[in-house]
Amino acid sequence: MSRIAIIGVGYVGLTTSAALAHLGHQVVAADVDRPKIDLLDSGVIPIVETGLLELVTEQRQVGRLTFAFMAGEVVAEAEFVFLCVPTPQAGDGSADLTYVTEAARQIGPHLETGAVVVNKSTVPVGSVDIVSTALGRADVWVVSNPEFLREGRAVYDCLNPDRIVIGSSDRIVGRRVAALYDGLDAPVVLTDPASAETVKYACNAFLATKVSFINEVANLCQAVGADVGDVVVGMGLDRRIGADHLKPGPGWGGSCFPKDTNALVRIAADHGYDFALVRGAIVANDAQFVRVADRVAAVSGGDLDGVQVGVWGLTFKAGTDDLRDSPSLAVIAHLRSRGARVLAYDPTHPDPGHDLLAPLGVEVVADLYAACDGSECIVILTEWPEFATADFTRVASVLGAPVTATAALRSGLDLSERDQRRSGRPAIVDARNLVDPAAVTTAGCRYEGIGRR
């Protein structure tokens, strides 16, 4: 059993705290966000993450997990301190290390001699040295231990990792960090800090590129009349490729891929290397958002001015409440900039006043049918299972004509001309290839998938 302090109780910090407590360690988890700590102290989990409430509750009950409002002293008795604070994208594309260095400065004076500070935040090559300097302590260690969990499956991933990567200039200290995970059945990659830091960025950039690749293949399928579903099966069965991350969609997003791909391009540029492949994936991804908006415009008669569009799904993927860099929000921004009115539904019921939603001017509605009410089309942007099982007869009955008339008047078009330009039937644009096309067409709607025949 080791004494561990976790700094930053977000998606990574909270899950890591509970997982390390589950492995038998004594964990105190601290955050600067007092309302969040108050919620956790009262037994509420502030994020949507399968199994996290149960794990946190269990570990609090057995007394191995406590929460604290952040103060440097929180690390006073810790043998290991995990930094799990944000590393957002800076204006120049690089990773902004302000939160990391600030946290290090806060804890530095309070660390025990010989304590090990572990960088779990995703940080660029050289960050072990940056944290060391910010700590201002020559008698403590700094080690890299990047996190690979997927939101929505964070608890499972923390307890069943594919591998544990540890970068340390000292093998013995690296092995001590590895020993914290004894009890998990996972290979340990023990390496130097620069290599460990590079593994994390390389993984995210590879996965993002893989998604962009299959999105491009889907667009090609659309053009040549092939079916991307069958192409994915045929490709995914090749063991050198694998089926994971071969799902076409509206583009990748979330709190990691966008900032980490940009940071990797920046890290490479800073070292004189042009990482053109990853730059290409970023460009392809931005184009995918536009392509989805184009599809919505096409089924709405060519232009979106004054057109009401229903959106299903706001989070960047199913199983999480995270809206950060969600492809859905990127597509909505394009729809709004072309004059569409957007009614959006998401099963996590985000607050319409949320920092990331309010500037978009999107109207958040209470259920998926409310998003259809008077809309000319529906666009599915997140793969929530409830969308696949929607009652499309009901959807068809509320989608459609009334707003078309209004929209036509607003945009100065003759209604019959506009009606001629659209198919006449309300459409479902399924940017996740989620629903059964037959269910949609039988209900009397048009179905538009991504590269789907």
- Name the site residues for ligand NAD (rule: CB under 6 A): 7-13, 30-33, 36, 70, 84-87, 99, 102-103, 106, 121-122, 147, 149, 151, 255-256
CB of 316 to ligand NAD, least distance (A): 10
Whose Cβ is closer to ligand NAD: residue 149's or residue 304's?
Answer: 149
Look-up of token digits 């809206």: 323
Whose Cβ is closer to ligand NAD: residue 81's or residue 395's?
Answer: 81
CB of 357 to ligand NAD, least distance (A): 17
Whose Cβ is closer to ligand NAD: residue 28's or residue 299's?
Answer: 28
Over its C-alpha atoms, the chain yields an Rg (Å, rounded) of 24
Question: Of 152, 129, 145, 275, which is closest to residue 202 (Cα–Cα)?
Answer: 275
- Pairing outcome for strands 141-144 and 116-119: parallel
Whose Cβ is closer to ligand NAD: residue 308's or residue 382's?
Answer: 382
CB of 87 to ligand NAD, least distance (A): 4
CB of 191 to ligand NAD, least distance (A): 18
CB of 197 to ligand NAD, least distance (A): 11
The rounded distance, in Å, linking the Cα atoms of 178 and 29 is: 20
How many residues belong to the chain? 453
427: exposed, middle or buried (C-beta count within 10 Å: 0-12, 13-18, 19+)?
A: buried
- In degrees, rounded to 5, the angle at the alpha carbon of residue 267 between the alpha carbons of residues 264 and 271 is 140
User: Tell me, what DSSP letter sits at residue 95?
Assistant: B
The rounded distance, in Å, linking the Cα atoms of 303 and 104 is: 52
Are 432 and 452 within 8 A, CB to CB?
Answer: no
Question: Of 66, 57, 53, which is closest to residue 25 (Cα–Cα)?
Answer: 66
The rounded distance, in Å, linking the Cα atoms of 135 and 144 is: 15
Whose Cβ is closer to ligand NAD: residue 84's or residue 228's?
Answer: 84
Alpha helices, DSSP H, located in 225-309: 228-236, 257-270, 276-299
Whose Cβ is closer to ligand NAD: residue 82's or residue 447's?
Answer: 82
76: exposed, middle or buried (C-beta count within 10 Å: 0-12, 13-18, 19+)?
A: middle
CB of 426 to ligand NAD, least distance (A): 36
Whose Cβ is closer to ligand NAD: residue 251's or residue 306's?
Answer: 251
Are 245 and 211 within 8 A, CB to CB?
Answer: yes
The rounded distance, in Å, linking the Cα atoms of 430 and 453 is: 12
Whose Cβ is closer to ligand NAD: residue 144's or residue 404's?
Answer: 144
Q: How far is CA 213 from CA 207, 216, 239, 432, in A?
A: 10, 5, 17, 15
Q: Which two tokens stand for residue 437?
A: 């096309």
The distance of Cα 289 from the centroid of its chain, to the nearest Å, equals 16
- In degrees, rounded to 5, the angle at the alpha carbon of residue 249 between the alpha carbons of residues 383 and 379 is 65
Is residue 377 annotated as a catalytic residue, yes or no?
no
In the bound complex, which residue of the shown chain has the CB atom lying closest to ligand NAD? Answer: 10
Whose Cβ is closer to ligand NAD: residue 161's or residue 251's?
Answer: 161
CB of 438 to ligand NAD, least distance (A): 35
Q: How many CB atoms lie within 10 A of CB 308?
A: 24
The rounded distance, in Å, linking the Cα atoms of 113 and 362 is: 52
CB of 109 to ligand NAD, least distance (A): 14
The H or E element containing residue 364 is strand 363-364
**Given 256, 372, 377, 445, the catalytic residue:** 256
CB of 401 to ligand NAD, least distance (A): 42
- CB contact set of 69 (below 8 Å; sequence gap of 6+): 30, 31, 32, 34, 37
The rounded distance, in Å, linking the Cα atoms of 359 and 366 is: 20
Query: Which residues are marked as active site?
Result: 256
